[in-house]
Amino acid sequence: MKSTRARHAGPSRAVIYVRISQDRTGAHLGVDRQREDCEALAESRGWEVVEVYVDNDLSAYSGKPRKDYRRMLADLELGTATVVIAWHTDRLHRSPTELEEYIDLSQRRGVDTHTVQAGELDLSTSSGRMTARIHGAVARHESEHKAERVARARLQKAKAGKFGGGLRPFGWGMPTGETRKKAVKGTAEEIDVPVLDMTKLIPEEGAALEVGSDMILSGGSIRGWVRWLADKGLLSTTGKAIAPPAARDQLLRPRNAGIAIYQREEIGRGLWEEAVPEPTFRAVVAILTNPDRVTTTGSQPKWLGSLIYRCGRPGCTSTARCTKVGGSKMPSYRCQADHGGGRHADRLDRYIVDLLVERLSQPDAVDLLEPAPDGINAAALQLESEQIRRRLTDLAGLFGSGQITMAQFTEGSDTARAQLEGVTSQLARAAVTDPLVGLVGVPDVRAAWEACDLGRQRTVLRTLMDVTLHPPRPGRMPDGGYFDYDAIEVRWKR
């Protein structure tokens, strides 16, 4: 069918639209080549190019807004040009919805479309519009097929235990001694960068993950590990200080235990060196994700007994907080319910520490340790855990192929997840470390105590003691402070 559109007399005003999905070098080489070909086409036809619109490193299929494409449509509505030049139709559209919008605009404003690779796209005729829609459908299919190939490749890579790409994970990436070329973004230059073996642990970072896991298992805190990392001069893989949220995420990564994941689901063992055993990892996850875990939002406690020591006033259930009040320069523990009366924090903490060290130094201190869980076979539990996870994967496959109903899938999944939760809990019990380990049976208990971070010390305090602060009896001490040792009630828990 011949076009019914009237051709424009004299030189036509044209605009050029160029787009490239991925610009790995950042040098705009792809869009520059497209523009050169489009400008050559305009020159051969005698068209005047009034504007060039560029969307670089942006896929039409991704659904993200293309700013220059939208700007071009707005300008065409205003009559800026009567010809659009593109390198190929798939540079303009890969969405049927976008194509229909473009067809409607072209018909209303009398816009012709020409491409370097596919020729003229005559949208004024039914056959021309059919051709455009076929091109669009083919382009859409290619995009979807490519997405499927990429997803399958990523799944296959994850199942093989290989690194999925992106930022180097903290802990892995030993230099191989080889280099590769990498483009400098925004330029055409290339630099040599070291090739990293993502299956090999970096000794100091792997040791840091092990230390962090052990700290959590023995009652330490994320912030305590963050301070340890800072003291050791260890930074994130982007060269920044590691903050508590990032530190927590690092300890919760299945990769630490050599577990491969895909789309947040565990799919098997990886091909890299593990930083911690799986039971240790499961225990860390159980502790850090426990909703009843004692954590402190905002500023961290700086004193041993803050929010642990209890007020002994009759009927009061509050804990004491260390503050400076009444113009005093000396920190004091005071009831949060403001019952009055303060205890010098330094003196009270020293007294409690002396009691703890003395008790842990006794010959029978070993009796304070919790007995190891009986009858827990970590290897068997780990095997059972993997079997349950495979069963969950199989259930998903059966439901996806229509072999089981939603009700059957839900019932089977709920049962399997309940079993998995029990196995994980047992694995965690097998790995959790009594906070007193490392303080009992050592030659110098006080030195071992002082080597612990405050979080670990507070955990030991919670484990061994209930400390209640009763109203003190006035009595001036030699240094001018008030302190009544008899008003400090200590109840041993073990």
Both tokens of 188, joined, read 């055409």
Sign (positive or negative) of CA dihedral 132, 138, 143, 144: positive
Residue 218 — φ and ψ, nearest 5°?
-100, 15
Round to whole Å and give the CA distance between 350 and 329: 18
In this prediction, residue 4 carries a pLDDT of: 44
Full-model pTM: 0.56
pLDDT of residue 24: 43
> 138-147, 168-177, 250-259, 463-472: which has the minimum mean pLDDT?
138-147
pLDDT surpasses 90 at 452: no
**Higher pLDDT residue, 415 or 218?**
415
The answer to whether the CB of 353 falls within 8 A of the CB of 364 is no
Q: Which residue has the tokens 């305590």?
A: 224
The residue-averaged pLDDT of 19-25 equals: 57
Q: Would you state the pLDDT for residue 148?
A: 62
Please say whether the beta carbons of 244 and 226 come within 8 A: yes
**How many Å apart are CA 102 and CA 97, to the nearest integer?**
9
Q: How far apart are CA 325 and CA 341, in angstroms?
A: 11
The pLDDT mean for the chain works out to 81
118-167 pLDDT, tens digit each: 888 878 777 777 777 777 666 666 666 665 666 666 666 666 667 777 78
Q: CA-CA distance, 345 to 323, in Å (whole number)?
A: 9
Each residue's pLDDT tens digit, 279-294: 888 888 888 887 766 5
Q: Are 320 and 306 in contact (CB under 8 A)?
A: yes
Token pair recorded at residue 469 = 């602060």
Mean pLDDT of 237-257: 94
pLDDT of 205 strictly over 90: yes
User: Any residues with CB less than 8 A from the CB of 272 and at least 6 apart, and which?
Assistant: 161, 163, 172, 198, 199, 200, 201, 255, 258
- Cα–Cα dist 211/116, whole Å: 61
- Look at residue 431 in the predicted model and tell me its pLDDT: 63
One-letter amino acid for residue 325 of the chain: V
Q: How far apart are CA 449 and CA 280, in angstroms?
A: 24
Side-chain-side CA neighbours of 441 within 13 Å: the count stands at: 7
Pairing state between β 119-121 and 112-115: antiparallel
Backbone dihedral region of 375: left (phi > 0), alpha (psi from -120 to 50 degrees) or beta? Answer: left
Tens digits of per-residue pLDDT, 315-332? 888 998 888 765 567 788
